[in-house]
Structure 1
Amino acid sequence: MNLIPRKLLEDLKSSLSYFPVVALIGPRQVGKTTLVKQLMTTLGKECIYLDLEKASDLNKLTDAELFFSQNRNKLIVIDEIQIKGELYTTLRSIIDETRNPGQFILLGSASPELIRESSQTLAGRIAYHRLYPLSLAELPNEFTQNELWIKGGFPNSLLAPKPELSWQWMENFIYTYLNRDLLQLGLNAPSKTIRNLWSMLAHSSGQILNISTFAKSLGITSPTVKKYIDFLEDAFLLQTLPPFAENLKKRLVKSPKIYLTDTGILHHFIGIESFNELAGRPNAGASWETFVLSQIMAGKKPAQKLFFYRTHHGAEVDLVITKGEKVIATAEIKFTNSPKLSKGNYIAFEDLGASINFIITPSSDNYLIAEKIRVCPLKTFINEYLPVL
């Protein structure tokens, strides 16, 4: 199969025309290297690609200042930059000699250190882009929404010619993260404990985070669980959705909701290989909510922030979309094409005062169910409504 065009390509080009350094971050195997190599063929400029996991490429940077100076007019791509974090100071000195745009692209498989060190050392010189798993907006025509939902958006999982190969790839992906990648990021923990936690998080995706429950089940302390969850989030393997509480004098739920970032990983942990297997399961709705959130995260504008809303009196809505301090929309996610709202949904809409409230379904018609309340399928929301909010 030919390369799948990624929407981020043009954004990377734009940033390279202005910033000396562009950083592309995201989990392993999400397609960062493929995207950058594709980008390199379109720039009309000589490029050098260095993979710091290769000893030969790492050796080229023994005297990094000399190497960069000798290749000053080329775009230098450094993959797995976190392996050699001391490069940041050298990069800054080289960049500041000319301040020319498009000198370096840095790739990192997530790392709190990568982001913190680069933002401090290269402040004002670097633009960040996050590559998400393949989204509906990028999905080739030969694949359905349900295939993307079940297999997830990691290219090697989605494109596998047989379900068992997709399953095998995902198992290897999880094993490598547990036994190598998270260790490289500095997580000092037994792989069995992290796998059990990751599995528990998969079964809890879409729910309010209750760290003490996980701690009790794993036989470790709550602060330790919090540290492990932070590492998984820093590795882009899960995400927390904070509660919305701006300027509201209500008794609100204060804990975040937790989601895996890819439904392929979620389904692997809960033992689902097909849509028919999932459809009758009690966690099908939570899986659908996780999928919808992942698509909105991949498609939203940077200025759009996401929250959930829930009060102790029963008012709730799955997503609150803000821009600045203003609520611009809400969305209730329903795993049905004939959705019905609860009393708590209507109270939440009134509390938040958004100009439009969506009910996102798998594949319903697109229509107003009441004033300011629109039912629409996910694909329509992503392609038509989210870009103009």
Structure 2
Amino acid sequence: MDMYIHRDIEKTLTKALKQFPVCLITGPRQAGKSTLLQNFLKSYRYISLDDPFIANLAKTDPKLFLSSYPAPLIIDEIQYAPELFRYIKILVDKDRQNYGQYVLTGSQIFSLMKGVSESLAGRIAIFHLYPLSWNELQKVLPNSQYDTNLVSKQMIQGFYPELATNSQIDKKLWFASYISTYVERDVRNIKSITDISRFQIFIGLLAARAGQLLNISEVAKECGISQPTAKDWISILESTYLIYLLKPFHNNLSKRLIKSPKIYFIDTGILCYLTGITSEEQLLRSPQRGSIFENMVIMEFRKQYSLSSGYTQFYFYRTTTGIEVDLIIQTGPSIHAYEIKFAETLSKNMAQSLSLFKEKHPCQVSQVLSLQKEKTPLKKGISSIHWYEAIP
């Protein structure tokens, strides 16, 4: 049996189970949701709606399903039977002080949120579980984040738990199977897409643009689809946790700011697979190496902030004149601004955009995140630090 890597969400989930009747964990397929709950909540009965017979019972007779499988209960892949939400609400409302009755998982955020908002608002705590973070990887690869070669290797392998715990897996075959299963099960479950091969081409075109502004019309034209179809497909990819759209930081007072989002992938392993990068040498030669590193660091921040109960917004900053800051993290009035560089040799010019951004937007933190281990001052109030040191 593969080893279990303890997840950082366990502590937060423990608190939630003492305050809410229902908890929902969403996240990409294979991120470790089922493994987490089966290892962490061993006293709960576990039922997966991946089984079509059980899913059919849940859909056609929710009341019988829930009486057959009483709480405390884990229901995996609940998006296959949204009919359950209403009946879970009825059971929970009979005993609102009985916390931790149901723990649900799902990998399709839009359909899940619809069911939650209609039936379980105020009764449910919601969490996002991403693939492994570097903090979680410390349990199997201590201090590897400070070794540039190991960082490159990890970016190519990605952060899905199964790849971290089973060295015998053929990674290329695993990613190919992941994409195939993802398209066949998650995508078709949301929308009837008849041209699957074109949809897969679309995913590849987005991978080639990771870290760039999303130009819907350009991608649609290159893929041979309409702009409305491209927008639909983007929405599907975002709701099923394959891509992440980073929104631009702007205020209505300025017309000089870019309004399009930037596109990233939830996992750099999937991204490298789609762009044909299979070795550290290929990564170093690739013009996308900086974007892939940027992708990894931004997702690392997302993973850590997903554990927080505070309201935090993520942005990038870019003006029409070319001033750009890779990542802006805003929590209330507090702004943290970061430039992300896949480099060990730094120059003061790398802090120029941060310096210009700070003139208009006071920052609590403004740093260049890189591979360089030593903290280095670059400009007034701006220093370079190793990227991992900035992760909360």
TM-score under structure 2 length normalisation: 0.90
Structure 2 residue corresponding to 1:157, chosen from 153, 163, 179: 163
Q: SS at 2:302's partner residue?
A: helix
Q: Which amino acid aligns with 2:280?
A: F
Distance in 2 between residues matched to 1:95 and 1:279, nearest whole Å: 54
Paired residue for 2:122? Answer: 124
Paired residue for 1:4? Answer: 5
Distance in 2 between residues matched to 1:243 and 1:284, nearest whole Å: 22
Structure 2 residue corresponding to 1:328, chosen from 322, 329, 335: 335
Residues 21-44 of structure 1 show CA distances to partners (whole Å, capped at 9, x for unaligned) of: 000111111100000111213xxx
Paired residue for 1:370? Answer: 379
Structure 1 residue corresponding to 2:314, chosen from 306, 311, 326: 306
Summarize the alignment of residues 253-292 of structure 1 with structure 2, pairs less than 5 Å apart: 253-292=258-297
CA contact 2:351–2:379 (8 Å) conserved in 1: no
1:229 aligns to 2:234 (yes or no): yes
CA contact 1:88–1:121 (8 Å) conserved in 2: yes
Residue 13 (structure 1) shift: 1.2
Residue 54 (structure 1) shift: 1.6
Cα–Cα, structure 1 residues 7 and 342, in superposed 2: closer, same or farther, change >3 Å?
A: closer
Q: Which amino acid aligns with 2:221?
A: K
Cα–Cα, structure 1 residues 52 and 258, in superposed 2: closer, same or farther, change >3 Å?
A: same
Gaps of 5+ in 2: 146-150
Distance in 1 between residues matched to 2:160 and 2:192, nearest whole Å: 23
Residue 304 (structure 1) shift: 1.9
Cα–Cα, structure 1 residues 60 and 39, in superposed 2: closer, same or farther, change >3 Å?
A: farther
Q: SS at 1:242's partner residue?
A: strand
1:199 aligns to 2:204 (yes or no): yes
Between 266-275 and 240-249, the greater mean CA deviation after superposition: 240-249
Paired residue for 1:77? Answer: 74
CA contact 2:337–2:366 (8 Å) conserved in 1: yes
| Fraction of identical pairs, as percent | 34
Between 24-33 and 52-61, the greater mean CA deviation after superposition: 52-61
Residue 345 (structure 1) shift: 3.5
Paired residue for 1:361? Answer: 370
Between 339-348 and 218-227, the greater mean CA deviation after superposition: 339-348
Distance in 1 between residues matched to 2:371 and 2:190, nearest whole Å: 37
CA contact 1:69–1:94 (8 Å) conserved in 2: no
Distance in 1 between residues matched to 2:57 and 2:230, nearest whole Å: 40
Distance in 2 between residues matched to 1:334 and 1:355, nearest whole Å: 20
Summarize the alignment of residues 136-155 of structure 1 with structure 2, pairs less than 5 Å apart: 136-143=134-141, 144-145=144-145, 146=151, 147-155=153-161
Between 335-344 and 150-159, the greater mean CA deviation after superposition: 335-344
Distance in 1 between residues matched to 2:64 and 2:179, nearest whole Å: 39
Q: Which amino acid aligns with 1:364?
A: K
Gaps of 5+ in 1: none
CA contact 1:327–1:352 (8 Å) conserved in 2: no
Distance in 1 between residues matched to 2:204 and 2:331, nearest whole Å: 34
Residue 156 (structure 1) shift: 2.1
Summarize the alignment of residues 48-127 of structure 1 with structure 2, pairs less than 5 Å apart: 48-55=45-52, 57-58=54-55, 61=58, 63-69=61-67, 74-99=71-96, 100-127=98-125
Residue 116 (structure 1) shift: 1.3
CA contact 1:92–1:122 (8 Å) conserved in 2: yes
Q: Which amino acid aligns with 1:299?
A: Q
Between 243-252 and 275-284, the greater mean CA deviation after superposition: 243-252
Distance in 2 between residues matched to 1:116 and 1:358, nearest whole Å: 39
The number of aligned residues is 376
Distance in 1 between residues matched to 2:131 and 2:240, nearest whole Å: 13
Residue 207 (structure 1) shift: 0.2
CA contact 1:4–1:140 (8 Å) conserved in 2: no
RMSD over aligned Cα, in angstroms? 1.9
1:14 aligns to 2:12 (yes or no): no
Paired residue for 2:44? Answer: 47
Between 268-277 and 182-191, the greater mean CA deviation after superposition: 182-191
Q: SS at 1:241's partner residue?
A: strand
Distance in 1 between residues matched to 2:321 and 2:32, nearest whole Å: 44
Summarize the alignment of residues 168-179 of structure 1 with structure 2, pairs less than 5 Å apart: 168-179=173-184
CA contact 1:20–1:102 (8 Å) conserved in 2: yes
Cα–Cα, structure 1 residues 197 and 59, in superposed 2: closer, same or farther, change >3 Å?
A: closer
